[in-house]
Structure 1
Amino acid sequence: MPFSRTLSVVGCHAEGEVGDVITGGVLDVPGSTMYEKLVHFLNEKDDIRQLLLNEPRGRCSMNTNLILPPCDPRADAGFLIMESEEYAPMSGSNTICTATVLLETGMVPMKEPITELTLDTAAGLVTVKAECEAGKCKSVAFDNVPAFVFKLDYQVLVPGLGEVSVDIAWGGMMYVLVDAASVGLKIESQYSTQLVEIGERIKRAVQASYTPVHPENARIKGVSILEFTEPLTQEDGCKAAVNTVVVSPGRFDRSPCGTGTCARLAVLHARGQLAENDIFTHRSIIGTEFTSHIRGTTQVGEYKAVLPTVAGRAWITSFKQVVLDSSDPFPEGFRVGDQWRMAPSPLV
C-alpha cells in the first residue's frame, strides 16, 4: 500500500473535549526538555499536527497528544499537546485523556484503587493520581504547575466594545479572563456566535497591548486563549461557577478546561474569594464538571502563585490507524472558513 505515513491513535475525550493520543508511528526528537521537543515539532515536524487536526482527518474542535519518552527521569512518560492553533505547554483535559490512555492500554501499569504517575510536559512535571477499578480509569486528578496572576482588572480598549476590564493569568497557558456579563453575554450555547466573536476580539486587543512573559521560561509569552466567566455560587458547602474557554480559530473548549480552571483558581485566590483547600466546581458550556482546589501557595519569580489540583474523567472512544496516501493532494489537510472561522494566529 502506498502510504507515506501511518499513525496509531487512540480516540479519547475528557468531559466532552476531544484529546486523541498518538501511541505509535512517531519517533522521539532531540531536546533536553519537553519544551525543547515542542519547539522541534513546531519548527521541523508540524506536518503531523496539521495532518491530524486539519480536515479531512480532523476538525477545529479537537486536540491530539503525542506520547514521548520523558526528559526528566522522575517522570513515567512525556507528552506534547497539539491544538488547532498552537502547541500548548500544558492542558488539563489533555492530561486527563493522556493519563487515561496510558493506563487503560497498559502503557503504564495500572494499580488499583489508585495509580500514581508523573508526566513530563512542556510546562514542567505534572503529578497524576488516577482512581482505578476493574481495569477502568474512573477519574484523574492532577497536581498542575503553579498558577499565578499577571494582571487584575487590566483595562483594554476593544474595537466596538470600548474599554473592557480583564484579568490575565497563567494556569499552564496564558489566559485572558473576562466576566461574560460585563460585555452583555451569558455562557449559553445560544450565544455561541457572539461569545466566540467577542472573545477573539478581546483576546486580540490584549495581544496588541500587553505581553505577559513567564518568569521561568521567557520563550513562553503572550496570551493565546480567553476564558469567559460567570459569578461564584454556593452549592452544598462548595463554590461553583460556569465558564467557557474560547480557543482559536474560534470555537469552545467542550470541557470545563483544566488550565483555565487553574487560572481561575489563581484569580479567585488573589481576590480573596477562594481559600486553600476550598472545593471549587467548574462547569463547561455543555454542563460537564471538573472539581478543583488550591493545595498550597508558592512564589514564581515576582508573582505569588497557587498550587492547583484538578480532577475529571475521560473515556476512550476509538482505536484507529491514520494514514497518508502518497497520492493524497492534501498531505497537511485543509481548512474551510465555515468551520475555521477566525484568521489564524502565529504559532508560538
Structure 2
Amino acid sequence: MKIKRSFDAIEVHAGLPMRVVTSGIPTIPGNSVYEQALWLEENDDQLRKLMLREPRGYPPICCNLIVPAKHPDAAAGYIIMEQVEYPMMSGGNTISVATALLESGMIPMQEPVTEFALEAPAGLIPITADCEDGKVTQVYFDNVASYAVHIDAEVEVPTLGKVKVDIAWGGMYYCIIDSTQFDWLELVPEQGKEIARISALCTQAAKEQLDVPEHPDYPGIGITVAEMHGPTDNPDADGKSVNTMFTGEINLNDESTWIGALDRCACGTGTSAMMAVKYAKGELTVGDKWRNEGLIGIIFEGKVTDTSKVGEMDAVHLKVGGQAWIYGFTKYILDETDPFSEGYRVGDIW
C-alpha cells in the first residue's frame, strides 16, 4: 500500500458528528485563521471533501482542522468545514473542538474550570470549560456578535404559498422559519424529510427574494443554513429548533434538490441567531437566558451578555453552552491508487 495522504482525527459528537483533525496538513499560509481558511478553500479543498464525503463521511457530519493560532491570546486555531462551505463560526464545532483538545491533553485541563481562547475564522473565541475527573462536562463560549436583518419577512414559496421568515447572523446567516405555520409538521425525527424539504424551499426563496447585507468583516457570505423552530414539551428547554445543512445547490424548479441534512445537535450559532431575533422582537433583553432543544433532545443554553453594533445593525453578545462527547480516535489515509481522491456522493442519501 502506498499512502498519498494521512490524517489523524478525534471523533467527537454533540448530537451531530463533528470530526477534529489533528494532523496531516502542511503549513497553511495566512496571518489569521480566517486567511488560512480562505487559502485552504482555494488551494487544498481535498481535505474537506475527503473527510465529509463517502466513504469517510456522510451528509450530517462536520469537520474541524486544528492549526497553530495566529492570535497571541489563543491556545489553538481551528478551521471549520461543512458540506458546502467553510463557516466563519460554529457553536457545536467549537464545543467539540474544545472538548477534544482538553480531553486529549493537547490543552492542559484544570479542574473544576479551564479557561482559554480558541481562534476561529471569525476571530478570538473565549472558552470556559467545566471539568470533572478528566471529563469536560460543559463548554461555554463567547460567540461573535449576532444580529437580525429581517423580521417576519414574507416570501413566496413553491408548494407552500406565502411564508414568514426571519434572517439573522449568529456566525452564519440563517433563514429562520416558524414551524407552526405548517399545521401538519412536528419537529421530530420521524418528519425529518419534510423538515428538510420545507427548509430548503423557504431558504432558497429567501435567498432569491430578500436582500441580505454583507457582514462587514466577512464579505461574500449570504444565507447558507435554515433553522426551523417551534414549541417544546421538554421542561428543561424554552423552545426547540432544527437546522438544515444543505449538501448542494437548491433549485426551486427541481424537486430532487429540496433536500438537506438535519443538524442533530441544538446548534450554537443557530441558538445565537434565534436569540438575536428574539432580542429584536423584544422577547429577550440583556441578562436573559434561553434554552434551545435540538432534534434529538440535546440542549444548548444561551445568555444575552451585552449589546453592540455590527456596522449599522444592532447586535447582541451571547454566551452559549453545551456538551460534547469523544467516541473514537481514527487514522484516515488516501491510497495512491484510490480512484476517489476527493470522496464521492450518491443520490440515494445526498
CA RMSD across the alignment: 1.5
Q: Displacement, 1:157?
A: 1.3
Contact 1:293-1:310 at 8 Å conserved across structures: yes
In structure 1, the residue matched to 2:293 is 283
Shift of 1:233: 8.0
Match for residue 83 of structure 2?
84
Asked if 1:326 is matched to 2:336, the reply is: yes
Instruction: State the Cα distance separating 1:106 from its structure 2 match.
Output: 1.1
> Letter of the aligned partner of 1:9 in structure 2?
A
Shift of 1:75: 1.1
- The reply on whether 1:196 has 2:201 as its aligned counterpart is no
Mapped contact 1:127–1:142 kept (Cα < 8 A): yes
Q: Do the aligned partners of residues 80 and 310 (structure 1) sit closer, same or farther apart at CA in structure 2, a change above 3 Å counting?
A: same
Q: CA deviation at 1:209?
A: 2.1
Mapped contact 1:279–1:293 kept (Cα < 8 A) = yes
TM-score (norm 2): 0.93
Secondary structure at the residue paired with 2:315? strand
- In 1, the alpha carbon distance for the partners of 2:61 and 2:233 equals 30
Which residue is equivalent to 1:240? 238
Alpha-carbon distance between aligned partners in 2 of 1:222 and 1:178, rounded to the nearest angstrom: 17
DSSP 3-state at the match of 1:55: coil
Residue 8 of structure 1 corresponds to 8
Question: Match of 2:312?
Answer: 302
Structure-2 residue corresponding to 1:317: 327
Q: Find out whether 1:230 has 2:230 as its counterpart.
A: yes
Check the 8 A contact 1:213/1:220 in 2, yes or no.
no
Q: Which residue of 2 aligns with 1:60?
A: 59
In the other structure, the counterpart of 1:135 is 134
Contact 1:28 1:69 in 2 (8 A): no
The residue identity in structure 1 corresponding to 2:212 is P
Structure 2 CA distance, aligned partners of 1:272 and 1:293?
15
Aligned to 1:36: 35
Deviation at 1:221, TM superposition (A): 2.2
In structure 1, what is the Cα distance between the partners aligned to 2:193 and 2:233?
Answer: 26
Distance, in Å, in 2 between the alignment partners of 1:287 and 1:153 is 27
Asked if the contact 2:229–2:242 (Cα under 8 Å) also holds between the matched residues in 1, the reply is: yes
Task: Give the alignment of 1:68-217 within 5 angstroms.
Answer: 68-184=67-183, 185-217=185-217
Per-residue deviation at 1:217? 2.0
Give the secondary structure class of the aligned counterpart of 2:98: helix
Structure 1 residue ranges (4+ consecutive) displaced by more than 6 angstroms after TM superposition: none
Shift of 1:215: 3.6
Residue 292 of structure 1 deviates from its aligned partner by 1.4
What is the rounded CA distance, in whole Å, between the counterparts of 2:305 and 2:232 in structure 1? 19
In structure 2, distance between residues paired with 1:9 and 1:58: 13
User: What whole-Å deviation, never above 9, does each CA across 1:282-322 have from its counterpart, x for those lacking one?
Assistant: 00111111111111111111111111111111111111100
Q: For the residues of structure 2 that align with 1:339 and 1:125, how far apart are their CA atoms?
A: 36
Name the CA distance, whole Å, in 2 between partners of 1:50 and 1:277: 41
Q: Distance in 1 between matches of 2:281 and 2:233?
A: 15
Letter in 2 for 1:300: V
Scaled by the length of structure 1, what TM-score is found?
A: 0.93
Q: Within 2, Cα distance between the matches of 1:131 and 1:73?
A: 24
**Identity score, percent:** 39
Shift of 1:107: 1.0
Give the C-alpha shift of residue 259 in structure 1.
Answer: 0.3
Task: Measure, in 2, the Cα distance between the counterparts of 1:220 and 1:112.
Answer: 41
Q: CA deviation at 1:122?
A: 1.2
C-alpha displacement of 1:74: 1.5
SS of structure 1 residue aligned to 2:27: coil
Q: What is the CA-CA distance between 1:190 and the residue it aligns to?
A: 2.0
The amino acid that maps onto 1:8 is D
CA distance 1:169–1:54, shift in 2 (3 Å): same
Q: Name stretches of at least 5 consecutive residues in structure 2 with no aligned partner.
A: 248-259
Aligned-partner Cα distance in 1 for 2:266–2:206: 23
What is the deviation of 1:218? 4.7
Deviation at 1:53, TM superposition (A): 0.8
1:251 corresponds to which of 258, 261, 267: 261
Q: Give the Cα–Cα distance (whole angstroms) in 2 for the partners of residues 215 and 304 of structure 1.
A: 13
- Asked whether the 8 Å contact 1:12–1:318 carries over to 2, the reply is yes
Distance 1:241 1:94 in 2: 21
Q: 1:235 Cα shift?
A: 4.8
Per-residue CA distance 1:13-70 (angstroms, 9 max, x = gap): 01x1111100111123111222211111111111001111110111111111001111
SS in structure 1 at match of 2:291: strand
- Residue 345 of structure 1 is matched in structure 2 by none
CA distance in 1, matches of 2:215, 2:298: 33
1:337 counterpart = 2:340:
no
SS of 1:17's equivalent in the other structure is: coil
Q: What secondary structure, in the 3-state scheme, does the structure 2 residue paired with 1:186 have?
A: coil
